[in-house]
Amino acid sequence: MPQLTLDQRYEIWNLKIQGCNNKFVAQQIGVHPTTIKRELARNSDKRNGVYKPKLAQQKTVQRHKNKTKHIGFTNQIKEFVIKWLKEDYSPEQIVGIAKKITVTCVSVERIYQFIWLDKKQGGNLYKHLRTLGKRYQKRGNTKNRRGQIPDRVAIEKRPSIVEKKERFGDLEIDLVIGKAHKGALLTINDRATGLLKMAYIKSKEAKEVAKKTIELLEPWIPFIHTITSDNGKEFTNHKQIAQALNIDFYFAKPYHSWQRGANENLNGLVRQYFPKKHNFDLITKQQVELAIYKLNNRPRKRYDFFSPNQMFNQFIERKSKVAFIS
C-alpha cells in the first residue's frame, strides 16, 4: 500500500466529511481506491470510527516503529530502491523519503554501490540518475560546496500569511523535465487562485530559468509578494529574480515537497499534456498555450468548482472595489 503523507490524510478527511466516496477521493489524491479503503479501516479512531488525519499519521508512525527492523540490503529494500530509481529519484531523495515515511533503507552510498554493480552486470538503473552515472567528484566531501545555493532564505522565514492561501501573489515555482532531462517547462502557480503561468525552456541553466521567470511574471509585478521553490540548482539566481520582480524568494526544506503542494499537484496536471517520457524538443508554443488555457479554465473542487481564471477575476474585482471606495 502506498505511503500517505499527512497532507494527503488531511485531503482524505476533507473529502470524506463532504460525503465523497472512496473512488472519488482516490482520484483526487492519485492513489488506488483500495488504498483509501485500507487507510480508513486501519487508521480511524477505533472508539467511534471517525477518521482524523493527525491520529492516522500517529498510528502509521507507531506501526512502523513496531515493525521488525531489517538488517542489510534486503530484497524488500532493493524493491523499494528500484521502484523509486525508476521514477528518476536520486539516491539522496530515496533515502529522504524513506526517512519521511519511516521505511527502513540503506545509506545513499550503499545505493550508489548497488547502481554501479547493476551497471557492471549490464543493468540500466544508472540511466535514471541525473548524470547518467558519471562520477564527477567523490561523494560525501563535506568541504565541497558545489550545488549549494548561496544566500538562500529558508521557508521558516516566510510570512505566516502565505500559509493561509488567502491573498493573490504568493507563488510557487518548479520545472517539469522532459525526456532524458532535455528541455523543461517552467511552471509558476499562485497559491490562492491556482492560476498557472508556464513556458518552455531549452535547459535548466540558472540564467535561463531566471530570465524566463522574470519575463513571465513582469505583468504581475503590482500584485506579487513571494515566491517559493525547491532546492534545485536551477534557482541559484534567485536574488536576480527577487530584485527584478521586487518580491521575496524562499526555499522549501529538502524532501518537504508538501511545502509546495499546490505546485506539485499542478505539475501532475501538466503531465497529462506532456507525459514524463515526452520529447520536449517537439513541444510547440501553441501546445503550451493550449495546456495553460485548459488548466486555468478547468473547474477545481478546492474552489467550489470555480476555475483559477474565475478566482483571479474575483480577486481583480475585489481589488477594483477597494480602489474605488478609497
pLDDT under 50 in the chain at which residues? Answer: 1, 70-71, 136-146, 324, 326
Task: Report the pLDDT value the prediction gives residue 138, as an integer from 0 to 100.
Answer: 46
Task: Report the pLDDT value the prediction gives residue 139, as an integer from 0 to 100.
Answer: 45
Query: How far apart (Å, rounded) are the C-alpha atoms in residues 158 and 129?
Result: 32
Asked if residue 319 is part of any domain, the answer here is no
Query: How far apart (Å, rounded) are the C-alpha atoms in residues 47 and 69?
Result: 30
One domain for residues 160 and 306: yes
Query: Which three three-digit cell numbers place residue 115?
Result: 547502481
Asked if residue 326 is part of any domain, the answer here is no
CATH code assigned at 169: 3.30.420.10
Q: Which pTM was predicted?
A: 0.55
One domain for residues 162 and 241: yes
Task: Report the pLDDT value the prediction gives residue 131, as an integer from 0 to 100.
Answer: 61
Report which of 30, 34, 24, 41 is spatially closest to residue 7, judged by C-alpha positions.
Answer: 30
One domain for residues 202 and 107: no
HEC letters along 144-199: CCCCCCCCCCEHHHCCHHHHHCCCCCEEEEEEEECHHHCCEEEEEEECCCCCEEEE
One domain for residues 267 and 161: yes
Residue 275: give the domain boundaries. 155-314
**What is the DSSP-derived secondary structure letter of residue 18?**
T
One domain for residues 79 and 61: no
One domain for residues 185 and 293: yes
One domain for residues 173 and 289: yes
One domain for residues 160 and 305: yes
Asked if residue 182 is part of any domain, the answer here is yes
How many CA atoms lie within 13 Å of 34's alpha carbon, on the beta-carbon side? 2
One domain for residues 209 and 166: yes
Helix, strand or coil, per DSSP, at residue 284: coil
Number of compact structural domains in the chain: 3
Task: Report the pLDDT value the prediction gives residue 67, as an integer from 0 to 100.
Answer: 64
Of 42, 65, 88, which residue constitutes the final position of a domain?
65
One domain for residues 191 and 276: yes
Asked if residue 321 is part of any domain, the answer here is no
Query: Which three three-digit cell numbers place residue 27?
Result: 482520484
Task: Report the pLDDT value the prediction gives residue 135, as an integer from 0 to 100.
Answer: 52
Asked if residue 213 is part of any domain, the answer here is yes
Query: How far apart (Å, rounded) are the C-alpha atoms in residues 229 and 248?
Result: 11
